[in-house]
């Protein structure tokens, strides 16, 4: 760090602590001081969110942010190239654990980008072991800040999470870790702010949790009550009976809901699956994408 940056940081910290009766005695007091400084305009809300995220990762374990085993898209080691490509296209993910005899036997990681070689390779001679990367395993109890250091050092972007008995309990990516600090990172699969519902396939839809229930009902032809909740996310909170984690699923009526994104306060993004092909209303009639 340069002298100039050190001086700037020192002045910034002094300004935060100047109005305090004394130095923060614990993490809670430090966070309160940061929030007070943000309220006074010392820095904006986005910076406050990141600072709180940095402070929280040391107290966060991998089990708190991992994608649970039930929601992992696996690739079997003896699957055909066509089926593997279908998994990649359907899921939209970029990395896939490859399993052997069962889901507790992870033999490697398959990157979607490596499958581009199939375009020029002879499918009859396809051997998945030539495409796989080594799998990294971490315990559920590992601290997230430690995992981030390991990701940076090893250049890995994904790790398999195992329980105390060595069984696979989930997976975690570097994006999951970074999002704990900077907040949710939108990608090409996310719904735009002005597009609360997006049709991803004949039976699959991406839905923002803040979508009003009446708008959701018009789109899907459902009759969910909005007497107690205004949004579809609020309705699902009632179904779960708690704040669900990313990857958790629930069925409401004939629809299957899976949480795509959630933080410690609310659900943000959902995947909705219909039992049959669903043709949504016209965009100009409903104000959402069809």
CA-to-CA distance for 7 and 256, rounded, in angstroms?
Answer: 54
- Range name among 20-24, 209-213, 220-224 with the lowest pLDDT average: 20-24
CA-to-CA distance for 72 and 178, rounded, in angstroms?
Answer: 20
Is 62 in contact with 140 (CB distance < 8 Å)? yes
Phi and psi at 242, nearest 5°, equal -175, 175
Query: Which is higher by pLDDT, 26 or 121?
Result: 26
Query: What is the percentage of the chain residues whose pLDDT exceeds 70?
Result: 81
The pLDDT mean for the chain works out to: 80
- Range name among 43-47, 162-166, 244-248 with the lowest pLDDT average: 43-47
Candidates 135, 141, 138; CA nearest to 64 is 141
pLDDT at 5: 42
pLDDT at 7: 46
Q: What token pair was written down for 277?
A: 């092909």
pTM of the model: 0.59
Query: Which is higher by pLDDT, 45 or 233?
Result: 233
pLDDT digits (tens, 9 = 90+) for 126-161: 778 888 999 999 999 999 999 999 999 998 899 999
CA-to-CA distance for 258 and 206, rounded, in angstroms?
Answer: 10
Is 143 in contact with 80 (CB distance < 8 Å)? no
pLDDT digits (tens, 9 = 90+) for 12-22: 556 555 555 56
Q: What token pair was written down for 105?
A: 């036997």
pLDDT digits (tens, 9 = 90+) for 84-129: 888 777 777 888 999 998 889 999 999 988 887 776 655 556 778 8
Query: Which is higher by pLDDT, 265 or 39?
Result: 39
Query: What is the percentage of the chain residues whose pLDDT exceeds 90?
Result: 29
Phi and psi at 184, nearest 5°, equal -65, 140
pLDDT at 286: 43
Q: Domains in the chain, ordered, with CATH? A: 3-43 (no CATH), 64-182 (3.10.580.10), 197-286 (3.30.465.10)
pLDDT at 185: 58
Instruction: State the pLDDT confidence band at 1, using cuts at 50, 70 and 90.
Output: very low
Residue 280: pLDDT over 70? yes
CA-to-CA distance for 200 and 130, rounded, in angstroms?
Answer: 32
Most trustworthy range by pLDDT among 36-45, 186-195, 226-235: 226-235
């Amino acid at each position: 760090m340069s002298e100039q940056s050190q001086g700037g940081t020192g002045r910034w910290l002094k300004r935060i602590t100047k109005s305090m009766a004394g130095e923060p005695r614990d993490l809670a007091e430090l966070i309160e001081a940061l929030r007070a400084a943000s309220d006074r305009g010392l820095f904006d809300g986005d910076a406050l969110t990141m600072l709180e995220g940095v402070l929280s990762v040391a107290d966060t374990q991998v089990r708190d942010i991992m994608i649970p085993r039930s929601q992992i898209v696996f690739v079997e080691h003896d699957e055909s190239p066509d089926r593997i490509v279908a998994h990649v296209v359907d899921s939209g993910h970029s990395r896939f654990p490859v399993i052997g005899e069962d889901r507790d036997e992870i033999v490697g990681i398959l990157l979607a980008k490596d499958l581009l070689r199939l375009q020029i390779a002879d499918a009859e001679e396809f051997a998945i072991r030539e495409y796989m990367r080594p799998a990294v395993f971490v315990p559920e109890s590992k601290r997230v800040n430690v995992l981030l250091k390991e990701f940076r050092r090893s250049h890995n972007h994904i790790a398999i999470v195992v329980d105390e008995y060595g069984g696979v309990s989930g997976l975690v990516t570097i994006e999951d870790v970074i999002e704990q600090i900077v907040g949710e990172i939108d990608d090409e699969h996310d719904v735009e702010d002005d597009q609360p519902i997006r049709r991803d396939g004949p039976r699959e839809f991406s839905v923002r949790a803040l979508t009003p229930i009446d708008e959701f009902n018009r789109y899907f032809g459902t009759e969910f009550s909005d007497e107690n909740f205004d949004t579809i996310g609020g309705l699902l909170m009632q179904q779960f009976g708690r704040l669900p984690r990313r990857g958790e699923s629930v069925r409401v009526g004939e629809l299957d809901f899976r949480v795509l994104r959630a933080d410690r306060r609310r659900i943000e993004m959902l995947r909705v699956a219909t039992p049959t092909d669903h043709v949504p209303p016209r965009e100009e009639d409903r104000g959402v994408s069809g």
